[in-house]
Amino acid sequence: MAQSQPRELGHDGLGEHIGIEYLEVGPEVVRVRAAVTDGIRQQYGIVHGGAYSAIAESICSAGTALGAMSEGKRAIGQSNNATFLRPIADGHVNVTARPRHRGRTTWVWDVEITDDSDHLCALVRATIAVRAAEQSR
């Protein structure tokens, strides 16, 4: 069953605006989906590339935060690089993120974005900084 973002992670305004629906969330894998609406489509009727990047950064930050919170640390997006392979015009944006590197100060995630037919539509590599809570602002 779908769940909203875990409460301990706080408010994600952009993620809520996009409509991210958390299906599975943890430090080893994060799976979400977002319904394709006019709010995330660009002028040609397909999902805006920025929506893919925003979803990826939001969920990779969430997964990193869940892994780092027990040490009193926070997760902050540092970079992401998206490659768009195939457009999504309707249905859902389905996203699965897995960490490739879990370091002391950075985590690196690989993100696959698919349509409802399980076609690979985008790949994102996201780097999330891990910092002491007092350094996060």
Q: Which residues are catalytic?
A: 57
The string over 28-61, giving b where at least 16 C-beta atoms fall within 10 Å of a residue's C-beta and e elsewhere, is: eebbbbbebeeebbeeeebbeeebbbbbbbbbbb
Contacts of 71 (CB under 8 A, 6+ apart): none
